[in-house]
Copies of this chain bind each other. A is one copy, B any other.
Amino acid sequence: MSRPDWIALDWGTTHLRAWAMSASGTVLDERVSDRGMGRLDPDEFEPVLREACADWLGEGGVPMIACGMVGARQGWAEAAYAPVPCPPLSPALTAVPGRLDAWIIPGLSQSDPADVMRGEETQIAGFLALNPGWDGVLCLPGSHSKWAHVSAGEVVSFRSFMTGELFAALSAHTVLRHSIPAEGWDEAAFDAGVAETLSRPERLAAALFTIRAADILHGQDGAQARSRLSGLLIGAELAAAKPYWLGQQIGVIGAGGLASLYVRALGAQGAPATQANATAATLAGLTAAWKKRTQA
């Protein structure tokens, strides 16, 4: 492999993803490790990165562009949030102190309602790079799902939903843990759950315990219980995000299963959505940041 012109990094709480890149944006090599920023002390970032990319770095300094929670206050170097409305890629990247030629893409913030994102701004930038001139709403499902209103190349506003983390906390740390298995899927139960809270969001609070009670009383199937919980929570998210997606062009950025569920749920509401690959969007966003930096 020829020496990369730069290195792209997606450094989140749980994982570090690295790509060796050519100047033109071709991927020469890639790797993933579980050295997420959530497990690292401040002085561990540089050694971890040097070890992960030793063969790419060689003797000299290869420029690096990073996005994700690595830019948080508890991360490698704090990259101050850029307040919306603004383009997803802030013009100024944050230089990481130390001997590496490393730069972090700042996250975005919104003052009222208070909201923040780190990493998703890069995926939004990548989506826009892959779909020039695109206007509408982007949904990025995950632990903290984001909905962003994008117009004329800027993020106008956005909202976060703790849907993924709620699912995890409810199924592991409440009485529902006795009724929610780790695996199993039932499409009809998911669809019914979505329909219930999307049309009557106030019912979420009452609907959760029925999952446990239906198991106790009627021996409800575990796959049904799991899918129903997922549907109830995604339905509640879609109800809250309705001012975002109603009548808009919608893009869902996400890997496989979870994003497909959002596309399916939106489709059932007569709101067709385009699904985009999350990794491709991240890489396109990092590449856009690299090009901006070299052109600056």
Contacts and interface: CB of A to CB of B under 8 A. Distances in A.
A92 interface: no
Interface residues on A, range: 35 or more
A217 B116 contact: yes
Most chain B C-beta atoms within 10 Å of own C-beta, residue among A159, A163, A172, A213: A213
Interface in A181-207: 201-206
A205 B81 CA distance: 23
Given A205-B236, A205-B239, A114 B217 contact: yes
Interface in A203-261: 203-206, 208-210, 213-214, 216-218, 220, 233, 236-237, 239-242
Given A201-B201, A205-B237, A239-B202, A213 B173 contact: no
Contacts of A131: none
A166 interface: yes
Interface of A: 81, 109-111, 113-116, 144, 159-163, 165-166, 168-170, 172-176, 201-206, 208-210, 213-214, 216-218, 220, 233, 236-237, 239-242
Given A113-B210, A162-B175, A162-B209, 17 more contacts: A114-B210, A114-B216, A115-B210, A115-B213, A116-B213, A116-B217, A159-B206, A160-B213, A162-B208, A166-B208, A172-B173, A173-B173, A201-B204, A201-B205, A202-B239, A204-B204, A205-B233
The 5 closest A-B pairs by CB, nearest first: A201-B202, A114-B213, A114-B214, A160-B209, A202-B239
